[in-house]
A = this chain, B = another copy of it.
Amino acid sequence: MAKKKEAPCKRPYDLGKRLELSDHKRVAILRAARAQLESGGFLQLTMNTLARKSGVTRQTIHNLFGTKAEVLEALFDQLALDAGLERMRIVMQQTNTESMLTSFVEVFTDFWAKNRLLIRRIHGIAAIDPEFGAAVEARNRRRQMAATRIVERLDGASGSEETKRKIAVLWALTSFEFFDALAEGCGSMKSAADQVLALVRKAVA
């Protein structure tokens, strides 16, 4: 009674503007996720509200990202990608080792200051969920490597107990959590950053 659908004949298809639209949605979703995460926290952030706030369907979020955890990983990745790579290059291109250390501290305190609330949440999720924690840890490894290389270059030797100690201290002093705790007590982010640098100099140099 009803007409049968024709058989599908494959034909080349270039999605130009459609990809663009799709990307806009990705951006909108991540932006909304960030806002939601910062204001209400992780428990308030539901796929439903996220969909509503970003003007998309819940299903679309699943199509674009996968699970809720994957949305957050994407958010974290974007953050690291936007800021991380180029800044790390700046650090490593310093000729003087001393200024490399300074640059290292500045790059991260700046990063922590600009994304304080978001990173607090993301690290919080990492702390409560071992699986997500592993994902975050993997993404933080670049900082670890950098800290190691800087201290080793500073010390000349590598592998000694003293060097190991310095690496651990530099790592901890430039961690987000330390900055976050410090900023709570200091009046401003700027002075917290200054304090970190001073402490690093005293402890490592």
Contacts and interface: CB of A to CB of B under 8 A. Distances in A.
Interface in A109-132: 120-121, 123-131
Given A167-B185, A185-B167, A186-B165, A128 B172 contact: no
A44 to B, nearest CB: 8
For the complex, would chain A's binding face be called helix, strand, loop or mixed by DSSP majority? helix
Interface residues of A, number: 39
Contacts of A195: 165, 168-169, 172
A124 B128 contact: yes
21 contacts: A41-B128, A41-B133, A42-B128, A121-B128, A123-B124, A123-B127, A124-B124, A124-B126, A165-B186, A165-B195, A168-B186, A168-B192, A168-B195, A169-B182, A171-B181, A172-B178, A172-B181, A172-B182, A172-B184, A175-B178, A177-B181
Given A41-B133, A165-B191, A199-B199, 17 more contacts: A42-B129, A43-B129, A121-B127, A127-B127, A164-B186, A167-B185, A168-B182, A168-B184, A168-B195, A171-B181, A171-B182, A172-B178, A172-B182, A177-B177, A177-B181, A202-B202, A202-B203
Contacts of A185: 164, 167-169, 171-172
